[in-house]
Structure 1
Amino acid sequence: MVGRRTALTLPAGLALLSAGAARAAGPGGSPAPALERAERPEELGFSRQGLERLSAWYQAEVDAGRIPGAALVVGRAGRLAWQEAIGMRDRDARAPMERDTLFRIASMTKPVTSLAAMILAEEGRLMLWHPVSRYLPEFKDLKVGPERAVLEREPTVLDLLRHTSGLTYGAPGAEAGSVPRAYADARVGDQSQTGEAFIANIARQPLRHQPGRYWEYSHSTDVLGRLVEVASGQSLDRFFAERILGPLGMTQTAFWAGQERAQRLAQPQVDPLTNARQAMPALVERPAWFWGGQGLVSTAMDYARLCQMFLGKGSLGEARIVSRHTVALMSADHLPPGTRTEPEVYRNQAVLAPVPENGHGFGLGFVVRNSAGRTSLPGSAGDFSWAGAYGPYFWIDPKEDLYAVLMIQGPANRMHYRYAMRQLVYQALS
């Protein structure tokens, strides 16, 4: 059996490697508060036996060789109920999972970028109803579909936040002549591009749909990240560091790990379902540009601080990031009645997809649950969540005053592990 290592506090004083790195400090330079640990999970309404079952389930997956390891954090009522580092950070190297293991969190970058946009909205430097072209003029004369039809209306900042902009992702295997194929052929997602080149490239391609008609998971948040840079006059990594990561004490979160932290990155293994290892970026060197929809590395405990801020209605300790009304706006369902989705939404996200059939909608940066029913997963109406392509997942349940973070790296059946995290956390509530 691969050993399980438990960690309940995060070591201080580790430098943020992003350019313009911020101190782990609240307003006025005061230290960011620690996440207080409950002496016993029963104090927070959890059964210890139930939480041990949660850890044992992931340990069994490690022992069976299906995943190398996992990092779990569960918080409730402002305190930590459970944190475990299970299995291996790198199975090939026999390196154990540690409390400061770094994970490539992929699309779990999106809620951070969405939060950055809402900070600017609170300051009046960004308006959600403005057309994107007000900030990025390249978006002024977009066309729609392979036939390049005329826009019915321009995409707005709100459309970027809720993924109704008409944008898509590239798909090399898509039908020739389709918009996803055009994105792939034009290398819209080329990671070596600058932000300016990315915007010029994507604006030359047609939208897949008229804005507002479809929920389409897409490059919307990458465009939003560039918009944040233009509206703030700062690079995205600097804005993150100064306005979000630093004040929240997220000292381990950045857009790249650097050589000195590379050995702390979790690594995927050869997956028994595919007999292959999921390809993922090294994220060791500074990227050419900071993509708002992807790219951060973080730890389970760092991301827990972000979750606690949302659960705290915009604040963590003395650090106020946004107002409680902004958090309420972000976590409300913003999909208009009749919003459609593409079939791949069901294939890729299944019961977590933001569709009425699942009792879900979409807010400003994450899936929002509208109904306690219509899905096979436990939860509460009003909870909100998101995930990353390399495996990580989180959700926040205001009704239960609860959040949970799962960090894994590379399993092909990542939805299985997200579903299990939900089921096993809620069964532990006493």
Structure 2
Amino acid sequence: MIKSFLLPVIIVFSTISIQAQKLSNERSVDKFIKNQVNQKNIAGAVVLISRKGETIMHTAYGQQDIEDKVKMNTSSIFRIYSMTKPITSLATMMLVDRDSIALDDPIEIYIPELKNLMVLEKKGLVESENKITVRDLLRHTSGFAYGIGLGTSKVDKLYDKNHPLFVSNNDQMVQRLSELPLQNNPGEKYHYSISVDVLGCLIERVSGMSLSEFFNKNIFEPLEMNDTHFKLPESKVNRFCSHYEKGLKLKESYKSSNYTKDGRQSGGGGLVSTSSDYLKFCTLLLNNGIYNNDTLISSSIITEMTSNQLPPGEGVYKRNNEVGIGFGLGFMVYLKEWGKAGHLGDYGWNGAGSTHFYISPKEELIVIIMSQKAPYSNTLVNGLKPIIYEGL
């Protein structure tokens, strides 16, 4: 009698638990992405949403390759470009956690080529007042620039004449960078730059390993990120997305990509990955350094990474001269409550191929949105964020 009474109760509570983890307006997400595909704004996309440790949505839309009519799949592989940066930042902080380096160490200790850099001011070249630190590289206050359309300063233009990133290895990169001036004194201003590529070189110098070796041993293997690579294996090319420009003009075919060749391992933008793999990385962050009951990095380190690190008045986004979005050690960090546009404490980043991720500790939420559109567009993340928050 007791067993027959308990069984339906257990089933009822189980059903409620499952329903609680669903997105109530999943159809609205579907409609938004399908409209983007139908309007030929994107070839396809993958959306992955995880809440409280459970995947509540993982859906593929459109095509992975238009020319060969390959459908997008939840296991499709994307160029994640600058979503490489948070992984490199985590690797750097692992070295900090192990006391191999310190955040306020001058980087010239490890990369002497970058000692005594000059600053380009209106009156000409002047000596830098501060040394570039590891912290400066992580929060983009190094004084370095980016070029390639990601900046308009005089230093950005100098980069484009002999760009440090377009070399064969990271030693060549810092050598070329040593011949270029800074655009401001280190530690003073936020300016998105090649700083995280320099961190890639630092990791190699300190660890004595290539960047891929360090990532594999310390991040990818423990997290079982089996589809994240600097060089895409031949066996996985059929899962690789083609990259499209405006009007769905082919920018790079999956069949003829530099990502299938050897080259410089870029800590700032060199990885390919899947939505499922990147979820594992985000889960480590949301769980404060723990994955599958293993501690890969101290929780205090994750707290520091996800807290604003910029000098007063500096920020990624300002409204009415007040900083609304700051930058931690690898991510942008929301400093205000934006409602359905984002919560206080949310953090994340994007990639040049229009890939996005954000994490909301308040909601125990991870959202990963993958597409391959050039030039970069935030249409998907800005459009989906309020829909997703409404559906929780």
Is the shorter-chain TM-score for this pair beyond 0.5, marking a shared fold? yes
Offset at 1:367? 0.2
- 8 Å CA contact 1:262, 1:284 repeated in 2: no
Do structure 1's residue 426 and structure 2's residue 389 form an aligned pair? yes
- 8 Å CA contact 1:179, 1:208 repeated in 2: yes
Distance in 2 separating the partners of 1:173 and 1:57: 29
Match of 2:59 among 84, 93, 97: 84
In structure 2, what is the equivalent of residue 397 of structure 1?
360
Do structure 1's residue 95 and structure 2's residue 70 form an aligned pair? yes
User: In the TM superposition, what whole-angstrom CA distance separates every residue of 1:359-407 from its partner, at most 9, and x where no partner exists?
Assistant: 110000000001013xx86221001010000110000000111110000
Distance in 1 separating the partners of 2:136 and 2:146: 15
Distance in 2 separating the partners of 1:39 and 1:144: 61
Distance in 2 separating the partners of 1:153 and 1:279: 42
Match of 1:154 among 111, 126, 131: 131
SS in 2 for 1:359: strand
Match of 2:218 among 210, 230, 243: 243
Distance in 1 separating the partners of 2:364 and 2:174: 39
SS in 1 for 2:177: helix
Offset at 1:41? 5.9
SS in 1 for 2:362: helix
In structure 1, what is the equivalent of residue 346 of structure 2?
383
- 8 Å CA contact 2:314, 2:326 repeated in 1: no
Alignment of 1:286-325 (within 5 A): 286-325=261-300
Q: CA 1:315 to 1:286, structure 2 compared with 1: closer, same or farther past 3 Å?
A: farther
Distance in 2 separating the partners of 1:59 and 1:172: 30
Q: CA 1:106 to 1:149, structure 2 compared with 1: closer, same or farther past 3 Å?
A: same
User: In the TM superposition, what whole-angstrom CA distance separates every residue of 1:151-209 from its partner, at most 9, and x where no partner exists?
Assistant: 1011100000000000011247987x92111111122221x422111011001100011
Letter in 1 for 2:165: G
Q: CA 1:40 to 1:57, structure 2 compared with 1: closer, same or farther past 3 Å?
A: farther
Distance in 2 separating the partners of 1:404 and 1:212: 31
Deviates more, 1:227-236 or 1:406-415: 406-415
Do structure 1's residue 366 and structure 2's residue 331 form an aligned pair? yes
Q: CA 1:174 to 1:418, structure 2 compared with 1: closer, same or farther past 3 Å?
A: closer
Deviates more, 1:419-428 or 1:127-136: 419-428
Q: CA 1:408 to 1:41, structure 2 compared with 1: closer, same or farther past 3 Å?
A: farther
Letter in 1 for 2:96: A
Alignment of 1:26-425 (within 5 A): 42-44=19-21, 46-48=22-24, 50-145=25-120, 147-171=124-148, 178-190=154-166, 192-272=167-247, 276-278=249-251, 282-339=257-314, 353-355=316-318, 357=322, 359-373=324-338, 378-412=341-375, 414-425=377-388
SS in 1 for 2:47: strand
- 8 Å CA contact 1:102, 1:298 repeated in 2: yes
User: In the TM superposition, what whole-angstrom CA distance separates every residue of 1:282-305 from its partner, at most 9, and x where no partner exists?
Assistant: 244343221110110000111011
- 8 Å CA contact 2:354, 2:377 repeated in 1: yes
User: In the TM superposition, what whole-angstrom CA distance separates every residue of 1:332-382 from its partner, at most 9, and x where no partner exists?
Assistant: 000111337xxxxxxxxxxxx444646110000000001013xx8622100
Offset at 1:53? 1.4
Offset at 1:318? 2.7
- 8 Å CA contact 2:138, 2:196 repeated in 1: yes
Letter in 2 for 1:288: G
Distance in 1 separating the partners of 2:183 and 2:168: 22
Distance in 2 separating the partners of 1:193 and 1:58: 38
In structure 2, what is the equivalent of residue 14 of structure 1?
none
| Number of equivalent positions | 372
User: In the TM superposition, what whole-angstrom CA distance separates every residue of 1:74-130 from its partner, at most 9, and x where no partner exists?
Assistant: 011111111101111112211101121000000000000000000000111011001
Letter in 2 for 1:134: I
Distance in 1 separating the partners of 2:216 and 2:109: 26
Alignment of 1:1-40 (within 5 A): none
- 8 Å CA contact 1:258, 1:284 repeated in 2: no
Q: CA 1:279 to 1:182, structure 2 compared with 1: closer, same or farther past 3 Å?
A: farther
Distance in 2 separating the partners of 1:149 and 1:252: 46
SS in 1 for 2:378: helix
- 8 Å CA contact 2:242, 2:252 repeated in 1: no
- 8 Å CA contact 2:189, 2:311 repeated in 1: no
- 8 Å CA contact 1:221, 1:292 repeated in 2: yes
- 8 Å CA contact 1:333, 1:368 repeated in 2: yes
User: In the TM superposition, what whole-angstrom CA distance separates every residue of 1:254-286 from its partner, at most 9, and x where no partner exists?
Assistant: 1121222222111133523xx744469924434
Deviates more, 1:91-100 or 1:395-404: 91-100
Offset at 1:324? 1.0
Distance in 1 separating the partners of 2:164 and 2:375: 25
Larger Rg over CA atoms: 2
Which structure 2 residue ranges, 5 or more long, are not aligned?
A: 1-14
Distance in 1 separating the partners of 2:263 and 2:251: 23
Q: CA 1:355 to 1:73, structure 2 compared with 1: closer, same or farther past 3 Å?
A: same
SS in 2 for 1:223: helix
Identity over aligned pairs, percent: 31
SS in 1 for 2:219: helix
- 8 Å CA contact 1:128, 1:156 repeated in 2: yes
Q: CA 1:209 to 1:377, structure 2 compared with 1: closer, same or farther past 3 Å?
A: farther
